A = this chain, B = another copy of it.
Amino acid sequence: MRASPSDLTGRARLREAALRLFAERGFAATSARAVAAEAGLSPALVMHHFGSKEGLRAAVDEEVLARLGTALRDVPADGDLMGSLGEVSARIFGADPVLRGYLRRVLQEDSPASAALFGRLLSGARTELERLLAAGGGHPDADLRWAPFQMLCLILGPLLLEPVMQPNLDQPMFDPQVLAGRSAANQRLLRRGLLGADPPGPVEPPVGG
């Protein structure tokens, strides 16, 4: 539960409004005046609190990364290996459309910060794959160099392509059930494609991902 807008500080209200508008329209297409109007405040207050529009962006980035970090930290590390990954993506992507939109915007920039964020996701995928291979015995000629990238493409692809993908679907892409089904399909594809093994346990977990 989040505090109502009027309960927040001016600074926080500006940051929340910026997060919303940046996620919706992108950074360049969002004016400082629009952010201030969305927050019900004066444009000059943006400069007062953040120094510049770029400073506002930095503050929003920091906030988003913090939320992302807590969401990633709360995932149980002892889950059914790759299942945890689906749970993470479901928790992050499914829950908050604003966060989703902002992450989409960030991932399609070419700033060093964006590359670093992707690097973190990449290393996460790598360790997840190593655990998977150690437990299941990797397929001999599976190309392990590209496997983490394939994993990330399967997870991040729908996030990045949401605006063009959704009009070609009849259900909301990030509805929990739809997301669960897609995530399960991804797990099956990776399990069979990289390990050559069918999933051992029940065919698919209810939420699983």
A interface residues with partner B (beta carbon < 8 Å): 26, 28-29, 104, 107-110, 112, 114-115, 117-119, 122, 139, 141-143, 145-147, 149-150, 152-154, 156-158, 160-161, 163-168, 181-182, 184-186, 188-194, 196, 198, 203-204, 208-209
Q: Could you write out 7 A-B pairs with CB less than 8 Å apart? A: A107-B160, A108-B161, A110-B163, A114-B163, A143-B184, A146-B182, A196-B198
A163 nearest CB across to chain B (Å): 3
Q: Known A150-B186, A154-B150, A204-B143; judge A160-B192 contact (CB<8 A).
A: no
A158 neighbours in B (Cβ, 8 Å): 149, 153
CB of A108 within 8 A of CB of B160, answer: yes
CB of B209 within 8 A of CB of A164, answer: no
Q: Known A150-B186, A188-B142; judge A161-B29 contact (CB<8 A).
A: no
